[in-house]
Structure 1
Amino acid sequence: MKKIINNSLSVLIFLLMSNYTIAQDKVIKITGILVEDTTSQPIPYATVVINDKNTKKIISGTTSDDNGRFSISTSKTNFYVEISFMGFETKTITEFKITNGKVILGKIALVTDNEALDEVVVTSEVSKTVFKLDKRVFNVGADISSTGASALEVLNNVPSVTVSIEGEISLRGSSGVQILINGKPSVLADESSNALGTITADMIESIEVITNPSAKYEASGTAGILNIILKKDEKKGWNGSVSINTGIPDNHSVGLSLNRRTENFNLFAQLGAGYRSLPKDSEAINKNLTDNEVIYSDGIEYRNETFYNITLGTDYHINDLNVLTLSGNFAYEIEEQPSETNFSYFDSNNDLISNWVRNETTDATNPKYSYELNYKKQFKNNEEHTFQLSALGRFFGKDQSSHFTNTTISGTDNNSNQETETDFQQADYTFKADYTNPINDTYTLETGAQYVINDVGNDYEVRGLINDVYVVNEELTNNFEYNQKVFGFYATAAYEKEKWGIKAGLRVEQTNLKTLLTNTNESNEQNFSNFFPTLHTSYKVSDNVSFQAGYSRRIFRPRLWDLNPFFNIRNNFNVRVGNPNLQPEFTDSYELTSIYKIGKASLSSSIYHKYTTAVIERVSTFENNVTITTPENIGTNATIGFETNGKYRPNNWLTLTGDFNFNYFDRIGTNETQIFNFSGSQWSSRFGSKIGLPADIDVELTGRYQSSFETVQGNVTGYAFLDLGVRKKIFKGKAIINLGVRDLFESRIQESYVYQPTFETYSFSQRGRFITLGISYGFGKGEAMTYSGGRRR
């Protein structure tokens, strides 16, 4: 190892010498290509030197290029070639043939030096977590970056963060985490693709973990934020991966990811295509307590999808202080949604009145695309002194047609045919400006603004077969237009010393929401402004013990389908419909967190309190044996809870993770004549183990449990399930084979009850077991991508 370092320094000094020329007439040119012995992949930036055979001193030196090629010249004839690169055994070449002033060495295979690698891990800087006012910063040390791991594997080393073998990211046991790259959304951060697999550990400076966002971030709710900060000197050259995946039920795909880095450009491209199916078993019971009539239904529905996508992106480093980013994604999906539901109608004497089958055939095409333009400027006085502008756009369309057929099996005639047509278009635009100024080591100011536009149109038509002619049902047909504009402005100020600090912020958001049913000219407009204060503080007891406290006010704005008043007629006796008059929820969130690091274990525990007003709940009504479920604003909800999560790695082959969340809630509310005052509790837990076996095999078991809990009209049943994953690395991590089994025992269910004086309903659904198998091969500087296909979002 010492010899490698000495030779490298000597070559560096030699290369920096200016005006050095070869004075001799006869020049010998030596060429070759450096590759790894096991994978034959090129080795860039390796050191190649020519030494004098007698004195052992360096005559000349160079480094290999991106493709492992090198070329070097000398006028000496009594020499030998020495090649070295960190992590590989030094190779000395003394036997070669000089022909016409050339030495062609061809492909030269370097052998991995395991002892040298071990030495690097022991002596290098170790990754560590730094506690900031409103976040934790995980600084990536050489113990991880030297391994060539992907960004997903780096994330799995971050306290409170878990990444399954399939690539699913969770924070404190909760999914739905927002991933940012250098503080902004990016195609590289799209968890639905394998893009994170092309970012290698040595490109990452740090990862910020934000569980209670400050005023800088949108006030709408989120499970948390992970911000990946890339180094300025990102590794140059090619990175990429190709993957092939299959599964049961049908889940087949192929993908190609490429990443090219040069001095000024970072280019990213991804291509993918596949087919997947998502079956679901369902069952429902509607019981009329007034006349004791009952309707049973059970069936299976599918969502079969053929998809194609392409992603392109580039970062242009104008200079050391200015970066311009442009990226885009286009996807096209072809859907089929066949379903079959059996209905049975019984009277008060439990006699069968009618039995029929409802079949659905649905076809749809879904084009969607997104694009991003971002400019970031850093100032010379401090790299954290930045100004950033960004513009993002997204579009999603759906052209869907459905055909429903009722076929009577026995009893009363229920034969009928229906058709629906849907023309749906959604466009979202986001414009942001952010400015950060660390005035000195103690004080930091942040300010910025954001403007978000959501523009949606949904033209929906229902037709019924009357006298062999399909006639439009005007009661169920309409065109719904939804337009929301949110303008936000924020400012924060922070005071931070070595052990203690405080950060206060205020975000102001002005919301304008308009909805319109064009056929009936029913409109609704909401225009309101809200203040969202935040306050964070932290105290560092030692490097292993820290405390954080935070307060933030958040908002949950009703989503499109919460507002859209259309009936879904897939099951005519269990209908969901939106409420265009729905108001947003507001939550005041308080949190006190302690973070401990004890040896090889890390533990984070929080006590929290949330108070929510205008709580949105789904309320069921009953008419003519039909259950109609509509979201309504139902009073307030006060919650107090405890959450803890930990990670323990006793040795190199075993990692244990777990989290537990318990909360007690107190509900107060009314809806029309109903009173919804009640108290209850619920809890959830997750335990995971990752076991490293010989032959580079990893086994992962993750078990989850969700308790039952009371709702405003009934209750939801608890469930437990287990996921299994197996991963095998081959070719020293350049290729990975993954086997995943989700819901191993087919125990994950959705089951709910509604109990009311005049009716009772029961609803059950289950997805079942999913088995996936994938193989991925990585080339360039990093490992193969961790398989992340097969999860529907």
Structure 2
Amino acid sequence: MKYKIIQLVSFLFLILNSTLSSAQGNKITITGKVVEERGKQPIAFATVMIADVKTKKPISGTTTSDDGSFELKTDAMDFYIEISFLGFQNKIFGKPPGQTQAITLGTIVLSENAEQLQEVVVAGEISRTEFKLDKRVFNVGKDLSTTGASALEVLNNVPSVNVNIEGQVSLRGSQGVQILINGKPSIIASEQGNALGTITADMIDRIEVITNPSAKYDAEGTSGIINIVIKKEERKGLNGSISVNTGAPDSHSIGVSLNRRTEKFNLFSQLGVGLRNLPNDIVTRNVDLVNNRTILSSGTEYRNETYYNIVLGTDYHINETNVLTLSGNFAMEIEDQPSSTAFAAIGANGETNAEWDRNEVTEAKNPKLQYELQYKKDFKDNEEHTLLFSALGNFFGKDQSSEFINTTISGENNDATQQTRTDFKEAVFTYKLDYTNPFTEQWTMETGAQYVLNDVSNDYEVNNLIEGEFVNDPGLTNIFEYNQKVLGLYGTGAYEGKKWGVKAGLRLELTDLNTLLATSGEANDQKYTNFFPSVHTSYKFNDRVSLQAGYSKRIYRPRLWDLNPFFNIRNNFSIRQGNPDLLPEFTDSYEIISIYILGKTSLNLGIYRRYTTDVIERVSTFENNVSTYRPENIGTNKSTGIEFNTKYSPAKWLTLNGDFNYGQYKRKGVFDTSVFDFNGDQWSAKLMSKVKLPLDIDLEMTGNYLSSYQTVQSAIDDNLYLDLGLRKSLFKGKAVLSLSVRDVFASRIDESRIMQPEFEIYNTRQRGRFVAFGFSYGFGKGEAMEYSGQRRRF
């Protein structure tokens, strides 16, 4: 990024001088193409200067385009031509003798300048954050781009962003973040998998963090948007990489990525296979304060998966301004869940009245299919002038059967056998059209449309073994059908000057939601139309201090599992179910963010405020020691918070990255005549240190703290944990050995308590320490990458 800025400044300087120094005369057209000596790759943004022979002052100039070509005209009579680019030796050409209307320089080969290249390494070493109108831009520097790290690891370096052990991304501590690739939904960024692991840091130009999205983006979600912008690189020939990983608990995978690029086509593919074991240690205590009876359950839930994954796709460059992309992804997960839970019924005096085990045998197959079709047109007048159409299809299925066997150990008879069957199908289609037109260097217009269709069917059945025969339980058996259509239209206008800028927009969304319990005939139809305005502004006081402010209106539509009333009955004393009558949340979001550059340190300080209506909270009801969790719309929430993050490199071998977030909230609401009014607060902190050790070894340690907080019914305990990683580069970065330990001290324990006048519930869940070792090797011009398979859906 810094090199491009240097070239742009040089170019503006040349243009300025050309207006003062050019003379009248016949125009001469000068053309050529600039390439590097090693590999003959084109050099974009190289400076082409025309200078006066006597004074040596610039007369005119330009920069090369993405393919290295250039064209400029001059009416000067006595001049020479100089070609330059940072890190390469300059080349100078004199004017041919005699009169001519055209000068063709052909292919100009620049050789590397070793001394300048060393300077570039120093200048481009550190990743930095800068402000744009409605986003913060994290430019990926050499400190990350040469490590072989995956996109997930790069995201973990971005202020305000965190990636957990499963590859789930959160922003300001909130999940539900929308991840885009080059500004659009993509197979790579879909929530069904962590194919983001196949993108290496070397491929990433920048990461845009949008905590308060403008009207251009889908109004869904309150956590924000992360846009990963991939470099425009030409890596012709066959490139690829292979990755092998192993870990404990059992997690083993092998992945191969191939890329073949020609003048017209870019063919890419990925093949992967693996298996993993995802254990969860769980303890639940349900206390009936009226009858003085407690049900205590504890055990380990296992989810063992074998998975296969294949990605195929191609980019077809119709010409230099039109690109067509078609890609597809098929994956299959085969699940086995040999879980076991021990139960105990405890009386008022602490005596154990009964003990029994509940063992689960579950088998499932989960096919996944995705496709993506994209057409992009770039207009020659400006690289930001684009037209983009994309169609994304997602299909997911689950064919699952389970058997639960209760075996009495002591006390009253609790022997029982249940069987469940799930036939789940989901299809999601997203069609998106975006048009961006920068009329001038300061003024830009954006407009577009999006249409999303979500069609789901969940056939769920429960049977109980009674007198040797399985009998259907009609209260837990039904077919749930879910159909949602959302049409969005938007328009924005922006002005961005040297110091100040403003961007305003409006988005219209029409939602049509239908749910049906087919067996019982219960239907719920919702249609609503909403406007989502947004306003953003920024001001640059100087090169070190900038300020950004913004407002947007957001929506959270209930997900399928918020609405579906039927869930797995693994623990039949702790049942989760959905609410078909759930309404969406609406949030008004305001924020002001400042950035300070102090030498090698960048400081970000932000203040934000959110007002949310129809807040969705999970509420527990209690009967016969059975707790049933169900989401409900309960009142409003006003939250105000501050956010602070910084990055500091006191030495070349040490980088520190700190993140702090504190928020206060006021809840108001009524549910079943009970008033839920209360105030609370929550804070989180993250400190990451990266140490460059001898022998090309990097050590990374990340400490995380999440404070305790309160919900409508629950009190959530705090969490403190440490992650550690080691990475060793081999063969000049072509190969990478990595070791990672998540939750080093096994201290990450999720605990919650519900205390009501008639009952108390305690829950704890722990995944424990996770250790992984990996080896990656890139061949051709490929880079070492990470492949850890598709992330589990549910």
Normalising by structure 2, report the TM-score. Answer: 0.82
SS in 2 for 1:382: coil
State the AA in 1 paired with 2:340: E
Q: Distance in 2 between the 1:164 and 1:625 partners?
A: 33
For the structure 1 residues 461 and 172, does the alpha-carbon distance in structure 2 shift closer, same or farther, using more than 3 Å as the test?
closer
State the Cα distance separating 1:607 from its structure 2 match: 0.4
SS in 1 for 2:475: coil
Q: Distance in 2 between the 1:133 and 1:710 partners?
A: 35
For the structure 1 residues 339 and 153, does the alpha-carbon distance in structure 2 shift closer, same or farther, using more than 3 Å as the test?
closer
Where does residue 8 of structure 2 map in the other structure?
A: none
Q: Distance in 1 between the 2:495 and 2:462 partners?
A: 60
Answer yes or no: is 1:408 the counterpart of 2:408.
yes
- Asked if the contact 1:166/1:789 (under 8 Å) is kept, the reply is no
SS in 1 for 2:565: coil
State the AA in 2 paired with 1:428: V
Write out aligned runs for 1:635-650 (5 A): 635-650=635-650
Where does residue 560 of structure 1 map in the other structure?
A: 560
Where does residue 312 of structure 2 map in the other structure?
A: 312
State the AA in 2 paired with 1:751: E
For the structure 1 residues 518 and 570, does the alpha-carbon distance in structure 2 shift closer, same or farther, using more than 3 Å as the test?
same
SS in 2 for 1:383: coil
State the AA in 1 paired with 2:462: V
For the structure 1 residues 318 and 230, does the alpha-carbon distance in structure 2 shift closer, same or farther, using more than 3 Å as the test?
farther
For the structure 1 residues 144 and 279, does the alpha-carbon distance in structure 2 shift closer, same or farther, using more than 3 Å as the test?
closer
State the Cα distance separating 1:388 from its structure 2 match: 1.2
- Asked if the contact 1:239/1:260 (under 8 Å) is kept, the reply is yes
Where does residue 349 of structure 2 map in the other structure?
A: 349
State the Cα distance separating 1:260 from its structure 2 match: 2.2
For the structure 1 residues 310 and 222, does the alpha-carbon distance in structure 2 shift closer, same or farther, using more than 3 Å as the test?
farther
SS in 1 for 2:640: strand
State the Cα distance separating 1:139 from its structure 2 match: 5.7
For the structure 1 residues 144 and 645, does the alpha-carbon distance in structure 2 shift closer, same or farther, using more than 3 Å as the test?
closer
State the AA in 1 paired with 2:248: I
| CA deviation profile, 1:144-167 (whole Å, cap 9, x unmatched) | 879998767876776666789998
State the AA in 2 paired with 1:373: L
- Out of 782-791 and 412-421, give the one that drifted further: 782-791
State the Cα distance separating 1:117 from its structure 2 match: 4.8
State the Cα distance separating 1:501 from its structure 2 match: 1.0
Q: Distance in 1 between the 2:713 and 2:688 partners?
A: 34
- Out of 782-791 and 734-743, give the one that drifted further: 782-791
Equivalenced residues, count = 697
Write out aligned runs for 1:721-736 (5 A): 721-736=721-736
Q: Distance in 1 between the 2:143 and 2:740 partners?
A: 28
- Asked if the contact 1:166/1:788 (under 8 Å) is kept, the reply is no
State the AA in 2 paired with 1:718: D
- Out of 497-506 and 348-357, give the one that drifted further: 348-357
Q: Distance in 2 between the 1:149 and 1:702 partners?
A: 15
Q: Distance in 2 between the 1:383 and 1:377 partners?
A: 10
Q: Distance in 1 between the 2:403 and 2:537 partners?
A: 58
State the AA in 2 paired with 1:417: T
| CA deviation profile, 1:57-88 (whole Å, cap 9, x unmatched) | xxxxxxxxxxxxxxxxxxxxxxxxxxxxx999
Where does residue 8 of structure 1 map in the other structure?
A: none
Where does residue 380 of structure 2 map in the other structure?
A: 380
Q: Distance in 2 between the 1:766 and 1:325 partners?
A: 42
- Give the fraction of aligned pairs with identical amino acids, expressed as a percent: 63
Where does residue 6 of structure 1 map in the other structure?
A: none
SS in 2 for 1:327: strand
- Asked if the contact 1:322/1:377 (under 8 Å) is kept, the reply is yes
Where does residue 324 of structure 2 map in the other structure?
A: 324
For the structure 1 residues 257 and 170, does the alpha-carbon distance in structure 2 shift closer, same or farther, using more than 3 Å as the test?
farther
For the structure 1 residues 779 and 714, does the alpha-carbon distance in structure 2 shift closer, same or farther, using more than 3 Å as the test?
same
Answer yes or no: is 1:210 the counterpart of 2:210.
yes
- Asked if the contact 1:422/1:458 (under 8 Å) is kept, the reply is yes
- Asked if the contact 1:338/1:361 (under 8 Å) is kept, the reply is yes
State the Cα distance separating 1:753 from its structure 2 match: 0.8
Q: Distance in 2 between the 1:714 and 1:225 partners?
A: 29
- Asked if the contact 1:200/1:782 (under 8 Å) is kept, the reply is no
Where does residue 520 of structure 2 map in the other structure?
A: 520
State the Cα distance separating 1:515 from its structure 2 match: 0.6
For the structure 1 residues 233 and 742, does the alpha-carbon distance in structure 2 shift closer, same or farther, using more than 3 Å as the test?
closer
- Asked if the contact 1:149/1:782 (under 8 Å) is kept, the reply is no
Q: Distance in 1 between the 2:126 and 2:320 partners?
A: 27
For the structure 1 residues 672 and 156, does the alpha-carbon distance in structure 2 shift closer, same or farther, using more than 3 Å as the test?
closer
For the structure 1 residues 364 and 87, does the alpha-carbon distance in structure 2 shift closer, same or farther, using more than 3 Å as the test?
farther
- Out of 338-347 and 549-558, give the one that drifted further: 338-347
Q: Distance in 1 between the 2:33 and 2:746 partners?
A: 65
State the AA in 2 paired with 1:412: E
SS in 2 for 1:213: coil
SS in 2 for 1:448: strand
Cα RMSD (Å)? 3.2
Structure 2 alignment gaps of length 5 or more: 1-29, 43-85, 89-111
Q: Distance in 2 between the 1:732 and 1:114 partners?
A: 17
State the Cα distance separating 1:187 from its structure 2 match: 3.5
Q: Distance in 1 between the 2:436 and 2:374 partners?
A: 16
- Asked if the contact 2:514/2:525 (under 8 Å) is kept, the reply is yes
- Asked if the contact 1:152/1:197 (under 8 Å) is kept, the reply is no
Normalising by structure 1, report the TM-score. Answer: 0.82
- Out of 224-233 and 399-408, give the one that drifted further: 224-233
For the structure 1 residues 125 and 622, does the alpha-carbon distance in structure 2 shift closer, same or farther, using more than 3 Å as the test?
closer
Structure 1 alignment gaps of length 5 or more: 1-12, 18-33, 35-42, 48-85, 89-111
Answer yes or no: is 1:607 the counterpart of 2:607.
yes
- Out of 223-232 and 490-499, give the one that drifted further: 223-232
SS in 1 for 2:664: strand
Q: Distance in 1 between the 2:416 and 2:377 partners?
A: 64
SS in 1 for 2:385: strand
SS in 1 for 2:121: helix
Q: Distance in 2 between the 1:476 and 1:319 partners?
A: 58
